[in-house]
């Protein structure tokens, strides 16, 4: 019998896979994609919550989280383009000029 | 589901897909004939009477050509790209009502399905452009990406007008709601926006920059040959048919019409729209790329928003 | 139903790992696309067709195309030493692992009792719209400000001149 | 729906749209666009003050406005106006979207202080982060700025994902995101069965909030961003958004989990101590003034967290008072840093400033003394209130740590004074006359002494607003 806990389990695992990607990769584009993984796995919890409490509100939250995710990607890609123009790389570990 | 229902569904699906493929094959001939008459030529007339067997001959030729996969391509993406295009071109017919009772399925959020399909459809062309690993294809792919993103916004906003006016996202209900007045009259601005955005989505002249022969050889499918090229070629016409059918359903009343049976009306309207598409293709010159983007963002999207506002006002006060 | 859900979840996990361990940026972007499609499938399983399609439209139609576009524009190719494990990142990963286990443990130890709020699960666009424009009106407005900020910001960063 | 209680925010949104249109019609007229922005802000401020005593819940339980939230608004408004004044002299040519971002961040901060719904808080927090990113990255073609904005973006996005996950898990536990409903449910049914999950949610939420107030595990962005970003923006970031962060902490922890302080109290106490020590010790070794102020802002976050731990009425007022006086202190210090220029923010550049421009050196000394917390300045009074509230609730050990840290911080603050008065100048810095930077500096000095000498009146107003 499929229950809410299954949704929760899968979503926690996917969330931390995304977090792993953020910590682990050095390319800004990969970090952006990992952030998207994190936000989407949160949506999985919400849809489980909606389904098992017969509630419309989590679905609204999912829609608004989609907005946030879209904004994050758009801004991040704009940043990547700017970084490429200014510093000729999007490798975040190579940014070390600010060290006092 | 009983076995009988499954059988009926299978028969229906095969009718739709078969009919659709036949139509697509003959569209290539139609296009050539139309351009011939526009340019005061005769067009293909050697294979069969009035050139009627020409598509079959073309098909055989393409199928038996050598299938070249260039050495420098990303093989997986290169192979799935044409498949995506063709599949996604057929998908809209799942929910289009061909007549009062003949349709494959009716889902509540049909219009969203159409948008989702056109979203995925982008990837066929985009992947073809990227995986080919050649400059022309790459530029073609980039152009496709930016063009489709820009015009999809206008397209969706035009959809919103229709949804607002008819109060439903199901294509069956939208068609039924048009039995007095076709949507083209109350949604005229929306129709214009939709039609222009559809031209851009289909990569047709005057918006065919992704495959502009004069600049990019053949754009994203420069490196394709044989079967895969045929899939792109047919996919393009399948998309054209699908878009015409969608325009017919959303704006021209679908199967609604007097005297004749619904299916015939649907076919007639679709062919009229198809003809208009071809007519435009052979009449207008190509846009420049910056013009294309600025038309999308500075003209179509504000117009579509205006249309939504007007529709909302009309809905409230009428 | 449970098996279907978990098979789908397995695919989600595979595609997610494909994203974070991928070598070719473009392949990773496509893997991300497939990941989003599996999440959309989860929405369909839960009965919310509307959200499933919105998910496909927003991610497949918009976000991934944008990412792919930038990848081509910046000419990112396979970078072989794209990640290496330093002492710092290693400790980070270990800490993250413990954190994840802690979260799972905490959630497993507690009794999450969901009380149905309505007699049936309303997944229609109309129901979502009602909630969006009544209870969630202010978040909706704030989200619109957020979108505006995002648009202006992306524009400012991406344009050539100052 | 009760929409009128958000009238100031609505005015600000309209002004923001107006600014975009003005920028579109007549691009790059800084002073004109800035003046329109200030007028909009003043109008909003006027309505905010005229409705000061109006309290109410609006927008279907999303926001709850009371006089106390409006005192927070005051901090935000002051920060925004001072930032606009600084920008007139500091920036030569930037796009007018700068003012748009000031307005949106102002809206976001005001909504943060007023919302009582967790999801609403998340959305406002995102709006705030991205608006600030716009302010930080406005000179994006500079290498430092590009790097600072990237670091800010990455950590903001990462921490907000954790924050969101915490909110969603809270939603799962309580089946509501409304803070007052959560509080009611906790009062009614207690912690049985949900305590481990609640701890998980508190930790996840804290990750997001710690980022905003630059507390210890997520402080890493602060030094880099402070060093890279334009000086006026840095002043703004360390004043307003930090106050907004504390407003949310008060809201979630003190209002939502009021009945069970054991969930969060000790976490905050450790955070406060760690943050104070880390900030002050790291500030000792840096020789860049902007970077030093970044570490000092971390330390100041630690002091305010002490007040959060004590969690009584006086502590609430102390937090607002602290943020108010801190706003003037950082704006004063950064107005002088702006005069010397971002590229001259090393300690050596300040050597001998007392000879070349004695007024500036004197003012800088005042700001440093106030940041240290020496009597007659507002820095002393604000610290005094914070430690008083902690002492009253028997958190004596926190007070002791606070005093130790005050002593440590004296070293690096006063080192600036030593450099200015006792070192010889290496190269002559010709500082042009900046009318707006100077006026901000004078405003800051006046208020520092006003709040330092006559704090009673302001403090009573804040207390009465509670």
Residue D159 in domain: no
Nearest-5° Cα angle at B119, B114 to B123: 135
Helix axes D396-422, D358-372, angle to 10 degrees: 170
Q: Is-contact D385 D318, C-beta < 8 A?
A: yes
- Do the Cβ atoms of C162 and D101 come within 8 Å? no
At residue B168, the 3 state secondary structure works out as coil
C-alpha to C-alpha distance for D242 and D293, rounded to whole angstroms: 14
CA distances from B146 to B126, B236, C5, D379 (A): 10, 19, 35, 54
Q: Which of B112, B120, B145 sits opposite C69 (nearest CB)?
A: B145
Q: Supply the pLDDT for residue D131.
A: 93
pLDDT surpassing 80 at residue C87: no
Domains and CATH numbers, chain C: 2-123 (1.20.120.1200)
Q: What is the pLDDT of residues D187-203, one digit of tens each?
A: 888 777 788 888 888 88
User: Within a domain: residue D240?
Assistant: no
Complex ipTM value: 0.90
Residue B107 host element (H or E): none
> Under a CB-based contact definition with an 8 Å cutoff, are residues B108 and C124 in contact?
yes
- Domain, as residue range, for D338: 264-466
pLDDT, tens only, D274-302? 888 888 888 888 888 888 888 888 888 88
Give dist(CA D463, CA D388) in Å, integer: 15
Q: Could you tell me which chain A residue has the CA closest to the CA of C30?
A: A33
Distance of alpha carbon D220 from its chain centroid, rounded?
16
Instruction: Select the residue from B92, B118, B145, B146 to test the C interface by mutation, using most C Cβ atoms within 10 A.
Output: B145
- Distance (Å, whole) CA D305 – CA D273: 9
pLDDT, mean of residues A71-88: 88
Tell me: pLDDT of B212 over 70. Answer: no
Please tell me the distance from the alpha carbon of residue B296 to that of residue B149, in angstroms, as a whole number.
Answer: 10
Residue-wise pLDDT tens digits, C98-153: 888 988 888 888 877 778 888 888 888 888 888 888 889 999 999 999 999 999 99
Establish if D329 touches chain C: CB-CB under 8 angstroms: no
What does DSSP assign to residue A33?
H
CA D354, CA B43: separation in Å to the nearest integer? 91
Mean pLDDT over B209-220 rounds to: 66
Summarize pLDDT for B50-63 with one digit per residue, the tens. Answer: 777 777 777 787 77
Give yes or no for residue D255 having a pLDDT over 90.
Answer: no
For residues D163-191, average pLDDT: 87
Q: Do chains A and D touch (3 or more CB pairs under 8 A)?
A: yes
Q: Which domains are delineated in chain A?
A: 4-92 (1.10.287.3510)
Q: Supply the DSSP string of C17-64, one letter for each residue.
A: HHHHH-SSHHHHHHHHHHHHHHHHHHHHHTT-HHHHHHHIIIIIIIIH
Q: Contact C106/D120, CB-based, under 8 Å? A: no
Task: Report chain B residues whose CB lies below 8 A from the CB of C60.
Answer: 116, 119-120, 122-123
CA distance C112 to chain B (A): 33
Of residues B122, B127, B169, nearest to C125 (C-beta): B169
How distant is the Cα of A1 from the closest Cα of chain D, in angstroms? 20
Helix residue spans in C46-124 (DSSP H): 49-55, 64-74, 87-109
> Residue B257: is its pLDDT beyond 80?
no
Q: According to the 3-state scheme, what is the secondary structure of chain D?
A: CCHHHHHHHHHHHHHHHHHHHHHHHCCCCHHHHHHHHHHHHHHHHHHHHHCCCCCEEECCCCEEECHHHHHHHHHHHHHHHHHHHHHHHHCCCCCCHHHHHHHHHHHHHHHHHHECEHHHHHHHHHHHHHHHHHHHHHHCCCHHHHHHHHHHHHHHHHHHHHHHHHHHHHHHHHCCCEHHHHHHHHHHHCCCCCHHHHHHHHHHHHHHHHHHHCCHHHCCHHHHHHHHCCHHHHHHHHHHHHHHHHHHHHHHHHHHCCCCHHHCHHHHHHHHHHHHHHHHHHHHHCCEHHHHHHHHHHHHHHHHHHHHHHCCHHHHHHHHHHHHHHHHHHHHHHHHHHHHCHHHCEHHHHCCHHHHCHHHHHHHHHHHHHHHCCCCCHHHHHHHHHHHHHHHCCCHHHHHHHHHHHHHHHHHHHHHHHHHHHCCCCCCCCCCCCHHHHHHHHHHHHHHHHHHHCHHHHHHHHHHHC
Would you call A62 an interface residue with chain D, using a CB distance cutoff of 8 Å? no
pLDDT for A99: 54
Chain A residues whose beta carbon lies within 8 Å of the beta carbon of residue D171: 46, 49, 58, 61
Highest mean pLDDT among B67-76, C118-127, D188-197, D228-237 belongs to D228-237
pLDDT at D45 over 60: yes
Quick one: three-class SS letters along D148-160?
HHHHHHHHHHHHH
Query: Average pLDDT, whole number, for chain D?
Result: 86
Q: Confidence band (pLDDT; 50, 70, 90) for D466?
A: confident
Contact C32, C47 (CB under 8 A): no
- pLDDT of D465: 80
Give, as one character, the DSSP assignment of residue B286.
Answer: P
Q: Measured between CB atoms, does A56 come within 8 Å of chain C?
A: yes
Residues of D in contact with C160 (CB under 8 A): none
pLDDT at A100 over 50: no
Query: Which of A19, A49, A71 minimises the CB distance to D171?
Result: A49
Q: Is A54 within 8 Å of chain C by CB? A: yes
Spatial separation of the C-alpha atoms in residues D49 and D69, rounded to whole Å: 11
Number of structural domains found in chain D: 1
Residue D122 belongs to some domain of the structure: no
Option in C1, C20, C62 nearest A24 (CB): C20
Q: Calculate the average pLDDT of chain C.
A: 85
Q: Above pLDDT 90, what percent of chain C?
A: 24
Residues of chain C that touch chain D, judged by Cβ-Cβ distance less than 8 Å: 102-103, 105-107, 109-115, 117, 134-139, 142-143, 145-146, 148-150, 152-153, 156-157, 162
The residue of A47, A75, A94 whose CB has the most chain D CBs within 10 angstroms, and thus the best one to mutate to test that interface, is A75
Predicted confidence (pLDDT) per residue in C27-86, tens digit = 888 899 999 999 999 898 888 888 999 999 888 888 888 888 888 888 777 665 556 666
Residue D247 lies in a domain: no
Q: Looking at the domain assignment, is residue D360 inside a domain?
A: yes
């Amino acid at each position: 019998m499929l229950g809410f806990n299954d949704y929760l389990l899968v979503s926690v695992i996917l969330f931390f896979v995304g977090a792993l990607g953020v910590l682990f990769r050095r390319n800004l584009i990969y970090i952006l994609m990992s952030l998207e993984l994190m936000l989407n796995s949160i949506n999985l919890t919400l849809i489980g919550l909606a389904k098992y409490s017969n509630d419309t509100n989590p679905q609204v939250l999912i829609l608004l989280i989609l907005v946030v995710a879209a904004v994050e990607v758009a801004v991040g890609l704009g940043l990547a383009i700017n970084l490429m123009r200014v510093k000729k790389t999007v490798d975040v570990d190579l940014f070390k000029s600010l060290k006092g | 589901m009983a076995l009988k229902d499954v059988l009926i569904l299978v028969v229906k699906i095969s009718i739709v897909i078969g009919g659709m493929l036949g139509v697509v094959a003959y569209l290539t001939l139609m296009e050539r004939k139309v351009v011939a008459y526009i340019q005061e030529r005769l067009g293909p007339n050697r294979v069969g009477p009035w050139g009627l067997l020409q598509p079959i001959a073309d098909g055989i030729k393409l199928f038996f050509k050598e299938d070249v996969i260039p050495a420098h391509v990303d093989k997986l993406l290169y192979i799935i790209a044409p498949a995506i295009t063709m599949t996604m071109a057929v998908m809209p017919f799942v929910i289009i009502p061909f007549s009062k009772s003949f349709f494959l399925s009716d889902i509540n959020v049909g219009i969203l399905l159409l948008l989702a399909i056109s979203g995925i459809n982008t990837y066929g062309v985009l992947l073809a452009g990227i995986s080919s690993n050649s400059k022309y294809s790459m530029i073609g792919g980039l152009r496709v990406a930016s063009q489709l993103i820009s015009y999809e916004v206008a397209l969706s906003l035009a959809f919103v007008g229709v949804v607002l006016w008819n109060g439903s996202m199901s294509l069956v209900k939208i068609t039924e709601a048009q039995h007095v007045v076709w949507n083209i009259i109350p949604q005229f601005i929306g129709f214009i926006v939709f039609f222009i955005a559809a031209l851009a989505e289909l990569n047709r002249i005057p918006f065919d920059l992704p495959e502009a022969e004069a600049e990019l050889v053949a754009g994203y499918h420069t490196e394709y040959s044989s079967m895969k090229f045929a899939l792109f070629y047919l996919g393009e016409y399948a998309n054209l048919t699908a878009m015409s059918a969608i325009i017919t359903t959303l704006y021209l009343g679908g199967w609604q019409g007097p005297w004749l049976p619904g299916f015939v009306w649907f076919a007639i309207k679709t062919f009229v729209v198809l003809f208009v598409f071809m007519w435009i293709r052979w009449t207008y010159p190509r846009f420049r790329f910056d013009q294309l983007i600025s038309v999308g963002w500075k003209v179509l999207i504000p117009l579509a928003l205006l249309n939504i506002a007007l529709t909302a006002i009309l809905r409230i006060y009428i | 139903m449970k098996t279907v859900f978990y098979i789908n979840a397995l695919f989600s996990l595979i595609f997610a790992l494909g994203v974070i361990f991928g070598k070719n940026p473009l392949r990773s972007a496509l893997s991300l696309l497939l990941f989003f499609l599996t999440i959309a499938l989860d929405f369909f399983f839960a009965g919310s067709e509307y959200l499933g399609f919105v998910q496909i439209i927003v991610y497949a139609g918009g976000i991934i195309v944008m990412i792919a576009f930038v990848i081509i524009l910046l000419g990112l190719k396979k970078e072989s030493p794209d990640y290496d494990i330093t002492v710092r990142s290693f400790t980070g990963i270990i800490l993250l692992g413990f954190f994840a286990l802690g979260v799972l443990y905490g959630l497993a130890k507690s009794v999450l009792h969901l009380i149905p709020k309505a007699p049936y699960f309303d997944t229609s666009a109309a129901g979502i719209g009602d909630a969006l424009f009544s209870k969630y009106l202010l978040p909706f407005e704030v989200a619109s400000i957020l979108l505006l900020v995002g648009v202006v910001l992306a524009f400012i960063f991406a344009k050539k001149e100052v | 729906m009760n929409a009128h209680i958000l009238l100031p925010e609505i005015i600000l949104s309209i002004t923001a749209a107006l600014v975009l249109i003005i920028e579109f019609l007549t691009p790059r007229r800084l002073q004109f666009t800035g003046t329109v922005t200030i007028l909009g802000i003043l109008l909003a401020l006027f309505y905010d003050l005229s409705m000061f005593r109006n309290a109410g819940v609006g927008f279907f339980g999303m926001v709850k406005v009371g006089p106390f939230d409006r005192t927070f608004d005051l901090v935000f408004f002051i920060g925004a106006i001072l930032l606009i004044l600084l920008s007139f002299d500091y920036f030569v040519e930037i796009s007018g979207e700068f003012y748009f971002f000031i307005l949106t961040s102002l809206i976001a901060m005001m909504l943060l202080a007023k919302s009582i719904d967790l999801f609403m808080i998340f959305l406002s927090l995102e709006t705030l982060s991205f608006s600030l990113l716009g302010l930080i990255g406005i000179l994006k073609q500079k290498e430092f700025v590009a790097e600072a904005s990237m670091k800010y973006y990455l950590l903001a996005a990462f921490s907000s994902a954790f924050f969101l996950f915490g909110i969603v898990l809270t939603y799962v536990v309580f089946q509501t995101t409304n803070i007052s409903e959560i509080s009611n449910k906790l009062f009614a049914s207690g912690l049985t069965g949900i305590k481990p999950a609640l701890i998980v949610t508190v930790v996840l939420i804290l990750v997001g909030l710690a980022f905003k107030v630059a507390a210890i595990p997520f402080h890493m962005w602060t030094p880099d961003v402070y060093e890279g970003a334009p000086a006026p923006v840095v002043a703004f970031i360390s004043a307003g958004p930090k106050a907004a962060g504390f407003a949310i902490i008060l809201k979630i922890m003190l209002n939502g989990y009021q009945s069970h302080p054991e969930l969060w109290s000790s976490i905050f106490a450790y955070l406060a101590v760690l943050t104070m020590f880390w900030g002050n010790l790291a500030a000792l070794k840096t020789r860049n003034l902007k970077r030093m102020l970044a570490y000092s802002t971390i330390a100041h976050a630690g002091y305010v967290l002490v007040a959060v731990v004590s969690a009584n009425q006086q502590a609430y007022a102390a937090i607002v008072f602290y943020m108010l006086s801190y706003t003037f202190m950082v704006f004063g210090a950064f107005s002088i840093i702006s005069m010397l220029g971002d590229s001259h923010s090393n300690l050596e550049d300040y050597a001998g400033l007392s000879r070349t421009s004695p007024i500036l050196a004197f003012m800088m000394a005042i700001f440093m003394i106030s940041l240290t917390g020496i009597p007659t300045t507002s820095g002393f009074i604000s610290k005094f209130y914070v430690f008083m509230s902690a002492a009253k609730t028997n958190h004596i050990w926190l007070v002791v740590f606070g005093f130790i840290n005050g002593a440590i911080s004296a070293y690096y603050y006063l080192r600036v004074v030593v450099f200015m008065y006792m070192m010889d100048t290496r190269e002559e810095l010709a500082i042009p006359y900046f009318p707006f930077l100077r006026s901000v500096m004078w405003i800051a000095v006046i208020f520092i002494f006003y709040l330092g000498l006559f704090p009673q009146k302001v403090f009573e107003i804040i207390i009465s607003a509670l």
